[in-house]
Amino acid sequence: MSNIINVDISLDQEYQIFIGQQLAQSFKAYCEAHYSQNSIFVLIDENVNRLHGEKVAKLVSDFENTHIIEIPEGETSKSVRKWNNIINKVLEIGIERSTPILAVGGGVTGDLAGFVAATVLRGVPLIHMPTTLLAMVDSSIGGKTGVNHATGKNLIGSFYQPDAVFSDIAFLQTLEQKEWVTGMAEILKYAAIRNPQLFEVIEELIHQPLTPKKRWVGVVEESARIKADIVQEDTLEAGKRAYLNFGHTFGHALEKVSGYGEITHGEAVFAGMIAACHFSQELGHLVSDVRFSPFLSLYKKQMSSLTANTEELLEAMKTDKKVKDNTIRLVLLNKWGSPYLYSCEDYSLLRKSWSYTLDKFNT
């Protein structure tokens, strides 16, 4: 059984996100209806292949030729070298314009495989099968694909929409706690910018990952729906999509100052959302970081203490590539569920919000 969300990209382009447990039937039916089933490339995260390889092999068993390519786990796989390497393999084996690429893994595999699909033969069909919480609620939706460059993350890539997304909750059974917590930050973001009820649901569920599964299906579905709603209103990131950056401008600075890899993106975003809430409250808006309090200990437990100081963080925000004319663009909240864009020129308030946030993590 799967629940389906429609994503309308434009008048003539739409795709569906299938969400549920054990989606084999829906997946096979989809492939039968949409592809000749001569050949498929499966780009799969190495850990996922070890843990779920058999299941994935069965999923694609109706194709005459299946080519499995493992992607080494970790952010370093999102590189031009790895992209080039896969392109070579795919072209040497032989691929046609109608041959689908199935991306099975977290955001790293999805972004890399998506960019391969976008570029080989000027684009072949892409199916996302996300296996982390973050990939199910965030990276598999919205069409951003790409790899990193020595000068920064995600600097090479393209918008490329998949034919379909299959989010099978059963994959999450093997996910490590750290990855749950990382993905949860994005769900809390959706709670803050669109649906505050998610705060209560997550508070209840976080102590019992995957039980009851039905409720997690509901959370993934609601999160995916929010992301899909926002991106379909703004597929090329010209306006509203910026709301998805709630907590991220602060979070990116923290990631940069702490050293990439020292804290996860989700941990940085969580801290960033506390700072953004504090900033909003200081401007007189009806929010406070109390809503994030039930989750703080969880993040603190797995993060080493934040050694970054306020001045370094401020500097990192000021030198961000997106900053124009010394104005830092922040996503703030008028109230819960109501984000807006704010041009920040008052650095003293930023200083205050960082100082408040660092205190939370270091006491």
Which of 20, 100, 106, 251 lies at the binding interface for ligand NAD (CB under 6 A)? 106
Which of 73, 203, 234, 262 lies at the binding interface for ligand NAD (CB under 6 A)? 73
> Is residue 174 within the footprint of ligand NAD (CB under 6 A)?
yes
237 is catalytic: yes
Q: Helix H segments across the chain?
A: 24-34, 46-59, 80-93, 107-119, 133-134, 177-193, 197-205, 213-233, 248-258, 265-282, 293-302, 310-318, 347-362
265 is catalytic: yes
Q: Report how far apart, in Å, the C-alpha atoms of 100 and of each of 47, 85, 185 are.
A: 22, 18, 32
- The amino acid at residue 240 is K
User: ω before 339 within 30° of 0 (cis)?
Assistant: no
Q: Report how far apart, in Å, the C-alpha atoms of 269 and of each of 88, 102, 172, 247, 272 are.
A: 36, 29, 21, 5, 5
Mode of pairing for the β-strands spanning 152-159 and 144-149: antiparallel
Which of 101, 108, 147, 330 lies at the binding interface for ligand NAD (CB under 6 A)? 108
Which of 23, 42, 43, 48 lies at the binding interface for ligand NAD (CB under 6 A)? 48
Q: Which is nearer to ligand NAD, 2 or 131 (CB)?
A: 131
Binding mask 283-322 for ligand NAD (x = CB under 6 A): ----------------------------------------
Tokens read off for 326: 């010394």
DSSP letter at 309 equals: -
Q: Which is nearer to ligand NAD, 157 or 339 (CB)?
A: 157
Which of 20, 105, 247, 339 lies at the binding interface for ligand NAD (CB under 6 A)? 105
Q: Which is nearer to ligand NAD, 253 or 358 (CB)?
A: 253
Tokens read off for 121: 């033969």
> Is residue 87 within the footprint of ligand NAD (CB under 6 A)?
no
Q: Which is nearer to ligand NAD, 52 or 360 (CB)?
A: 52
Rounded to a whole number of angstroms, the minimum distance from the CB of residue 356 to ligand NAD is 26
Rg, the chain, Cα only = 20
Binding residues for ligand NAD, rule: CB under 6 A, are: 45, 47-48, 51, 73-75, 78, 105-109, 111, 131-132, 134-135, 138-139, 142, 144, 153-154, 171, 174-175, 179, 182
Residues with active-site annotation: 122, 144, 186, 227, 237, 241, 245, 248, 252, 265
